[in-house]
Amino acid sequence: MENGGEGNNHLQLALQESQMVAVAATACLPQPLSVSDFARPPMHGSNLRVAYQGVPGAYSEAAACKAYSECEPIPCDQFEVAFQSVELWLADRAVLPVENSLGGSIHRNYDLLLSHRLHIVGEVQLPVRHCLLALPGIQKEDLTRVISHPQALSQCENTLTKLGLNVSREAVDDTAGAAQFIAANNLTDTAAIASVRAAEIYGLNILAEGIQDDRCNVTRFVMLAREPIIPRIDRPFKTSIVFAHGESTGVLFKVLSAFAFRNINLTKIESRPRRKNPIRIVDNTNHSGTTRYFEYLFYIDFEASMADQRGQNALSELQEYVTFLRVLGSYPMDTTPLGPVAELCLDVHAPAV
């Protein structure tokens, strides 16, 4: 009996060892893909090459790193180059600004979304905190000129005046590029409006921080890829579309009603002139001559996934009213906290008591 018990023990140990070997071997094998692998939100970003417009230190670079934390940022000198870098496989993604809470829409990128075939696969919102930068040893009294992107200059206009600066304002292509230009040319009479990171990269001192006139300054960026992602319904999604309508009366009302009747919230609606057909000429039967109308494209963002039946039905109804419709992307909404800026925004818009 004892020998039998020892035999059983040896057998159990052997089985356990065999199971451990099998588990270890299985762990080394590639795991089969599941639906969740295809639908995973594009926020992991390991080793992705991400194109952005500007030079290192630009807010767009910060947005790219926020969207894809372990990416390799690829600077581009123009917005269109960022689009092309993804199309030509020089980059895996592009992260580009589409609107700012103070300056409004970046129209150039809306036009490029239509002329290129990339897909929006995500969005990221980045708080913008402007700084006044100059060479080490330079004081505010030494300045005769401030350079930056036109929007940054306009967003800091009142603060520059309050700082007592008697300086000219000069627009350049981007904020970090302004800092780079000062450092490269050793300009002792010029300051740049740019980010803290730009000061670190180009060896500039921060003369003043947080100089934007409005404390609540946020830019929304979209993440672009060659292929769309599979939409989901287990987290908040947003869908972006562009359409053009015909000559019938009340078409825009019907389009908006398609969303309202299904309780779908619109987060943005924007019209842009239709470049290839900017003017529509209509014979006026009631009066002599003809009537000329501007032709527009309408860009809409709405809070629903294309996997949601409501969103599918809304677009099906839209097709009855429009002459052109394109889905630019259905993607996860950026629900990450904005940090201290969110509290500032709430303070700015809170009712007086």
Q: Which residues are catalytic?
A: 219, 221
Tokens 């300056």 label which residue?
103
How far is the C-alpha of 165 from the C-alpha of 156, rounded, in Å? 12
Cα separation of 70 and 93, whole Å?
13
Tell me how far the alpha carbon of residue 286 is from its chain's centroid: 48
- Distance (Å, whole) CA 34 – CA 36: 5
309/173 Cα distance (integer angstroms) = 43
Helix (H, G, I), strand (E, B) or coil at 140: helix
End-to-end CA distance of the chain: 88
Residues 279-283: contacts with CB under 8 Å, at least 24 apart = 280/247, 282/247
Q: What Cα–Cα distance (Å) separates residue 251 from each residue in 181, 193, 312, 324?
A: 50, 45, 19, 13
Phi, psi of 210 (to 5 degrees): 65, 50
* Helical (H) or strand (E) element with 12: helix 2-28
At residue 149, what are phi and psi to the nearest 5 degrees?
-65, 145
For residues 304 and 302, give the distance between their C-alpha atoms in angstroms, rounded to a whole number.
6
Please enumerate in sequence order all residues whose Cβ is within 8 A of that of 193, keeping only pairs 6 or more positions apart, or say none: 130, 131, 132, 133, 146, 147, 148, 149, 152, 153, 156, 175, 178, 211
DSSP reduced 3-state for 16: helix
